[in-house]
Amino acid sequence: VFSFNKAIQAFSKEGQLDNAIGLLSKMEEMGCKPDAFSYNVIINGLCKKKQMEQAGKLFGEMLDRGLVPNHVSFNTMIDGYCKCGNLEETFEIRELMLKQGLRPNLVTYNSLINGFCKCGRLDQAKGLLIEMQEQKLEPDNVSYSILIDGHSRQGDIHGALALHSEMIRKGIEISVFTYDVLVNALCKQGKMREAEGILNEMVGKGLNPDEVVYNTLIDGHAVLGNTKEALGLYQEMGRRGITPS
RNA sequence: UCCUAACCAUAG
């Protein structure tokens, strides 16, 4: 089963989902029962391609076969529906999940919060943040990155920065990824000085800025027509040993 | 071995 799952993973990664699905019957013939993992990988591939009808079909097939879906199975489906903007379906999945005796976990909430943020439904996203805490789940740096980005997309830079402060207050780790989101939020508002302040903050904390931070800053300057600054940052990235893509 | 977040790239 392990080997077949590896192969299914390989096909899925290449986007060759038909071949991956073909392996399900093949492994069956050879006496290897596909497990939830086998299905999860393929369903995730379909979700990434936004083929939710197919994903739902396979999910149903998994249940019909008597396989027990796990957190990853449900989270994958929820994320898929979120990415397609079909938030209604996520409630159905959540119900199914509870019927299976599974409580939403951190990834479930993060996926949902992302879905609502990307649809501009920030209030509901924040409601989910509260709900998860009521469930004794602590939001992590992913949760906050999603929300910071969500506020940024709505043009609410103050809300975004408030979340940054909240992370500091709560002692939640601010990763390079989170800094990328913050820098992007400021750049999108044309607040280049502040954005570079964040860059300095991360360097001050001993974190290594990555290529994305520089891409973000360079793009911010480019949009404003600040060629000199953009070029300066390009050179700075070289000095830091970052290879531009 | 499987699930969640960011930039350039929903390119006018």
For A12-63, what is the HEC assignment?
HHCCCHHHHHHHHHHHHHCCCCCCHHHHHHHHHHHHHCCCHHHHHHHHHHHH
CA distance A88 to A244: 41
Under a CB-based contact definition with an 8 Å cutoff, are residues A9 and A41 in contact? yes
Plot region of A86 (φ>0 → left; ψ -120 to 50 → alpha; else → beta): beta
Strand B positions closer than 7 A to protein CB? 1-9
User: Would you state the pLDDT for residue A209?
Assistant: 96
User: Would you state the pLDDT for residue A181?
Assistant: 97
Q: Is the CB of A212 under 7 A from strand B?
A: yes
| Distance, Å, A28 CA → B10 C1' | 41
User: Would you state the pLDDT for residue A219?
Assistant: 97
Between residue 101 and residue 140 of chain A, the positions with Cβ below 7 Å from nucleic chain B are: 106-108, 110-111, 114
User: Would you state the pLDDT for residue A155?
Assistant: 96
| Distance, Å, A1 CA → B1 C1' | 10
Q: Is the CB of A6 under 7 A from strand B?
A: yes
| Residue ranges in chain A whose pLDDT is less than 70 | none
pTM of the model: 0.94
For this complex, say whether ipTM is above 0.85: no
Q: Is the CB of A90 under 7 A from strand B?
A: no
| Distance, Å, A183 CA → B7 C1' | 9
Q: Please name which of A233, A159, A225, A161 lies closest in space to residue A196, comparing C-alpha atoms.
A: A233
**Alpha-carbon distances of A201 from A47, A182, A231, rounded to whole Å:** 37, 11, 21
Q: What share of chain A is helix, strand, coil (3-state, %, to 5)?
A: 75, 0, 25
Q: Is the CB of A245 under 7 A from strand B?
A: yes
User: Would you state the pLDDT for residue A158?
Assistant: 96
